[in-house]
Structure 1
Amino acid sequence: MHATKLEIDSNGLQQKTEVPKNNTKKEIIGWVKFIFFLTLAVFVIKGSVGFTLVAGDSMQPSLRDGSLVLVNKLSATFSEPKYGDIVVLEEAGYDVIKRVIGVPGDTVSIEDGVVYVNQQPLPELHTIGEANNMPAITIQPGKIFVMGDNRTPGESLDSRDPNVGPVSIENIKGYATISIFPFYKIAKPLKL
């Protein structure tokens, strides 16, 4: 099926030319390209960012129950966790959000509710509650020591529990960067 198109030549006369109504081959190629690039974009985005929903009060006051958090997955591939990072870990099939307190080689202890890393008290303004005492633990290579910001006993299942202990760095799925809904910045700790 063809359509006609009127063209004006150099003499000012109108000529009728036949133009194909649709070019099926070009259309199919266009759709294939679109689907390819859309699929590629989805994989890139899915591999570099994600979202997780905070459930519970273990990260209060930094993260609130029900907050939707943006997760930087790309950094989990290319960087090592540092003190104060909030990580999303996969533990027993669930996503768990905790703060990094100790990295490989650090010694972590708790005395009179104060957390010590390498015998230095942590300056913490982003926590609530008071943790129970814990004898010194040295973090092995490939592991990190994590805690919830809610230090009240029983509020956070974290590395203080002997059944959990230091967790594998390989379990890190990403780093929490910002709360999307409700929108707020995530509190960062003071420097050691």
Structure 2
Amino acid sequence: MSVAGDKYKSERGGFGETVKIIVQALVLALIVRTFLFQPFNIPSGSMKDTLLVGDYLFVSKYAYGYSRYSLPFAPDIFSGRIWATPPERGDVAVFKLPRDPSVDYIKRVIGLPGDKIQMIDGVLQINGTPVPKEKIDDYTTTDEFGAETRVARYKETLPNGVSYTVLDLDPHSFSDNTQVFEVPPDHYFMMGDNRDNSTDSRVLGAVGYVPFENFVGRAGLIFFSVKEGEPAWQFWRWPWTVRFDRIFKLI
């Protein structure tokens, strides 16, 4: 009788220990996601070729400090940011869309508070000075039928020395010439690297100037990547669908 009782206690203790470990793991995961790193995936091509559809990346939550948008469900318990560190020009950052904070966007920080931003004939102007733009090799893609598409690609270098590539789908697009945008205090001007296929701060009614409070974090590392249109969960297809050259790539 005592043997059976000891067995029951052992099984019950083992189950309780398993539940305890699961709860601890969930709490730890919640803490990491809330305060350290949050995973995101890229659903659109607005940041090509820096980020591609199918990229999965980690965003540093602590890079800019914390706002209510750092917390799950964004509870309205405080305003502004704590332990704030302002974004730097050239950062790739995730933020909450100002007109709909339930939507996450990812773009590059181009304009800082007080800056005047303008596009003239496809050349980015910051405070009246053109940003150096150097033509490099074209960006090429191949569809499922083997047809190749080539897109003009340029290297831009911001005043602080940060360089990155941008795509120019149409040399005469409507977004190549804009008004002057004067960035308000505590706001930032965000742009996609795929300049003619990005809804960003140039479209005031859709995105506009982004409050510092709306920043979620800075994109840091691509930890996984699958070809566009391929489900990431189909692990048996990974030998053909995973873009191994993009895994653990710094942004």
Q: TM-score, normalised by structure 2?
A: 0.58
2:105 corresponds in structure 1 to 96
**Post-superposition CA distance 1:127-146 (Å, at most 9, x none):** 01154211221111121000
Supply the AA of the counterpart residue of 1:178. L
Gaps of 5+ in 1: 4-19, 188-192
Q: Return structure 1 stretches of 4+ with deviation > 4 angstroms.
A: 20-24, 26-37
Tell me if structure 2 keeps the 8 A contact 1:106–1:118: yes
- Alignment counterpart, residue 53 of structure 2, candidates 59, 65, 76: 65
1:143 corresponds in structure 2 to 187
CA distance in 1, matches of 2:224, 2:17: 37
CA distance in 2, matches of 1:30, 1:178: 35
Q: Alpha-carbon deviation of 1:162?
A: 2.4
Gaps of 5+ in 2: 66-83, 133-155, 157-163, 226-246
Q: Are residue 85 (structure 1) and residue 91 (structure 2) matched? A: yes
CA distance in 2, matches of 1:55, 1:105: 31
**Post-superposition CA distance 1:148-173 (Å, at most 9, x none):** 00011xx1110011212211111111
Tell me if structure 2 keeps the 8 A contact 1:62–1:126: yes
Supply the AA of the counterpart residue of 2:200. D
Q: SS of the residue aligned with 2:180?
A: strand
CA distance in 2, matches of 1:30, 1:66: 38
Q: Alpha-carbon deviation of 1:108?
A: 0.7
Q: Structure 2 matches for 1:1-192, cutoff 5 A?
A: 34=21, 37-47=24-34, 48-77=36-65, 78-91=84-97, 92=100, 93-123=102-132, 124=156, 125-129=164-168, 130=171, 131-152=175-196, 155-163=197-205, 164-182=207-225, 183=247, 185-186=249-250
The alignment yields a C-alpha RMSD, in angstroms, of: 2.6
- Percent of paired sites with the same residue: 32
Q: SS of the residue aligned with 1:46?
A: helix
More helix by share: 2
Q: Alpha-carbon deviation of 1:126?
A: 1.0
Q: SS of the residue aligned with 2:31?
A: helix
CA distance in 1, matches of 2:190, 2:18: 48
**Post-superposition CA distance 1:99-128 (Å, at most 9, x none):** 000111111111111111122222314101
